[in-house]
A = this chain, B = another copy of it.
Amino acid sequence: MLQITPLNPESETSFYRQLYLQIKELIASGQLPTGGRLPATRELAGQLGLNRTTVSAAYELLETEGLISGHVGRGSFVAGSPKRESGVAWREILEASAPISPAAPSSTPVAGFSSSRPSELLFPLEEFRETCAEVISSPDAQTILQLGSPAGYPPLRRYLLELARAEGIARDSDDILITSGCQQAFDLVQRTLVRKGETVLLEDPVYLGQKNAFERGGARLAGVPMGANGLDLESLERITRRERPRLLTVTSNFQNPTGTTLPLASRKALLGITQAAGVIVIENDIYGGLTYEGDPIPTIKRLDETGDVVLLRSFSKLAFPGLRVGWVIGPRALIEKLTEAKLWSDLHTDQLSQAVLLRFAESGRLAKHRQKMLEAGRERLHAALSACRQYLPAQAGFTRPRGGMSLWVTLPAPLDAGELLPRAERAGVTYLPGRYFAVSHSQSNSLRISFAGMAPDRIREGIAILGRIFTEELERVRVHSPLTETPAMV
């Protein structure tokens, strides 16, 4: 009998691929010798409690790679060992862990709701070209091309710090570090502040990149449930008491993936809870510039009177994501340490992009572009919300963001957003299922709709398709519901 360890239903790797990897390893290690016979697909499916097509798919992949060969009526046999490409034991060293990143997006003929990024059709190409031309013809060009400072391009640091001071979010005791986008800011925070095994509180659900930055650094993650108004504060207080975390990350405006915003009173309460417990607050404000409706609420950093809150911002959501420039504002002692970590991570952030974005902002072009982005975002948000109201099953819930790039749909039980994704993809629509954003709580019945990258008509069309699929599935499971077969109570 084939020695297959139970497949992991929590893994991002599909069953057939997990099976394929295990059999490949058995062949590579010689436990399945060349010429050895594999069990029939029906037999192995029975043994493992799998669908027979799953086993067939694994066998097909092995056959494609020339590792097994099938003979009608006789079964499948091991044809040879996987080629060892080298003397270094790469397999052992690298382990067979499945990456926890979403698969590459399929082609999306109708609507791709899976990426939170601005539409490239809105990029102000002419203004970008003018900006570049100004930067490279300026006398600073030589300096920009030379090795720079780990803390960032000095004129950009000064510009952003002055802006932050004017806004009341940077104090004299604060300083600034330019990072290669916000993702790096999380990575540096993890490296500098979190020791292996220490606990980090994250919003639950939360953006995958945050989860991974801390998890890879060896932190224990604890999720704080999100409600319609962001972080649930009662849970925060309880979990803080129980977990004694080192830090909390919070996206106060238009959180990714839920799109929710923390109200003013909750921001103040959050400060009370974290300050009492000595928990560092990392406020991620990369969506704050994208307020489509209502007045912006002061950041937690601004409300904080201790000067301890650390604020992350970035140009990527507003301007050009391909240019990797973000920044961190926080207490000087922390910024010094983050800068040191930055130095040994990548020396410094690319200076051409820093200089171009500085010029783009200073010249007023960023503010003008932002107005365009706000108009487009408002339209898209309205299209998404009205389509959700119109097309989603009545039992589905969805958040009502007032800015940002995404909203969060919760399907009625027993629907599973991950299981339904292939059907949506076949119909030309993609999204990211809730499991990519889960921290401590399963999010299997939820999904993220990233609406900001598409025109309103495609948003409507895409959500209409999703609505149809979810409604059909809901009717199908009702028809087959075991409830109708429940015996009479006795």
Contact = CB atoms under 8 A, between A and B. Distances in A.
Interface of A: 85-91, 93-94, 99, 101, 115, 117, 120, 123, 125, 128-129, 132-133, 136-137, 141-148, 173, 179-181, 183-184, 187, 191-193, 196, 209, 212-213, 216, 246, 275, 278, 280, 306-308, 316, 320-324, 331-334, 336-337, 340-341, 343-353, 356
Contact of A333 (B91, B187, B275): B91
Nearest to A325: B350
A142 B320 CA distance: 9
Given A180-B346, A323-B352, 11 more contacts: A85-B307, A85-B332, A90-B331, A93-B246, A101-B340, A125-B142, A184-B346, A191-B216, A324-B347, A349-B350, A350-B350
Contacts of A349: 324, 350
B146 A321 contact: yes
21 contacts: A86-B307, A86-B331, A87-B275, A89-B278, A94-B334, A125-B141, A125-B145, A133-B136, A145-B320, A145-B323, A146-B320, A146-B322, A148-B322, A184-B345, A184-B346, A187-B344, A187-B345, A216-B341, A322-B352, A324-B349, A353-B353
Contacts of A133: 132-133, 136
A242 to B, nearest CB: 20
A414 to B, nearest CB: 33
A333 B137 contact: no
B340 A209 contact: no
A316 B323 CA distance: 18
Contact of A347 (B85, B183, B334): B183
A306 B88 contact: yes
Contacts of A180: 180, 324, 346, 350
A123 B145 contact: yes
Contact of A344 (B93, B94, B183, B278): B183
B321 A145 contact: yes
Nearest to A213: B344
Contacts of A93: 193, 246, 280
Nearest to A118: B146
Contacts of A183: 344-347
B147 A321 contact: yes
A307 B137 CA distance: 45
A142 B351 CA distance: 20
A321 to B, nearest CB: 4
Contact of A94 (B148, B333, B348): B333
Interface centre among A86, A306, A307 (most CB of B within 10 A): A86
A183 B144 CA distance: 19
A385 to B, nearest CB: 25
Given A88-B308, A94-B192, A348 B324 contact: yes
Nearest to A193: B93
